[in-house]
Amino acid sequence: MSLLRAIVFGAAGQDGSYLVSELLSQGYTVLGLIHNNAAPRPPQDGLSFAQMSLEGLDALPALLREFGPTEFYNLAARSSGAGMFDDPIAIGELNGIAVARMLEAIRQSDRRIRFCQASSSELFGEPEESPQSEATPLRPRSPYGAAKLYAHWMLDIYRKRHGMFACSALLFNHESPRRGLAFVTRKVTHAAARIKLGLADQVELGNLEARRDWGFAGDYMRAMYLMLQQDQPRDYVVATGTTHSVRQLCEVAFGHLGLDYKRHVVEAPADFRSSEPVQLVGDASLARRKLGWAPTVAFEQMITSMVDHDLALMQSQATPA
């Protein structure tokens, strides 16, 4: 049995699936914690699952003692995107206080367990500088960002007060074919595939000039793994350092299928976000220097792979069994 044992909280999501694959490839035994309503996963050597929600962490200390992980990755959270202002009380409890409960469970059970928190570029909110690095002041502007900031500072407190190996990964936007439909990248690739197959004619989007630092989720999960392999714990920005507009996203996605996005994309003013005076874009030079990490999947490659996935998925659903 492997001496390398990891818990991945939020194993059923996009990020969790990539992180689990990374850990298994490194020889870990992995316990994936999934929410009660998460889709069942097929059995796999070295991988097992248990149900646990962010609302019910009372059993976590006993689980830690029973499984005996060497590493603990928290990817679970109330989602960002359009819902980051919805139900601020619940967001605070699930994205903030729940992380403090995880840290306390580790402190009570085994302080040698290394912990990595999936944090967010939303911590920067309205930044004073661009690009943003680990030294950039944190100024969240949403309940989601504020809750993540609470978790971020609690992690720092446990690291300094209790000597725990705890790291925060300040993840900028990261996408893949496994991304949910609520996010603009997958909304665009899904719509392009539907239009190509004649299942739709147009898609409504917000501001096409809005820009994001978009990277590949698998690359970002590899960065989180590398963070827990270091001699000393510290926080890292994980980003590509390059932004693309929603318009460019549409050009790549629709163009990959031989379509002109201008004929099918409708800007909906109601969906516009307020403009950002300072661009959100990450400076991951510390991760490059200390972790030896760099993105491996380019923006265009990532988006076309998402289009191909959506097209194949719809074609398979349309084919009689």
Which residues are tagged catalytic? 120, 122, 144
* Cα 312 to chain centroid, rounded: 24
Query: How many Cβ atoms are within 10 Å of 150's Cβ, its own excluded?
Result: 17
272 neighbors 207 (Cβ within 8 angstroms):
yes
Detail the DSSP E strand segments found in the chain. Answer: 5-9, 29-34, 47-51, 71-74, 114-120, 166-171, 174-175, 203-205, 211-212, 215-216, 236-238, 244-245, 265-267
Assigned token pair, 272? 């516009």
Query: H-helix or E-strand containing 16?
Result: helix 14-25
* C-alpha distance from residue 151 to each of 154, 167, 235, 255 (Å): 5, 11, 13, 41
How many Cβ atoms are within 10 Å of 237's Cβ, its own excluded?
Answer: 26
Q: Which residues, at least 6 apart from 81, have a Cβ–Cβ distance to it below 8 Å?
A: 182, 183, 184
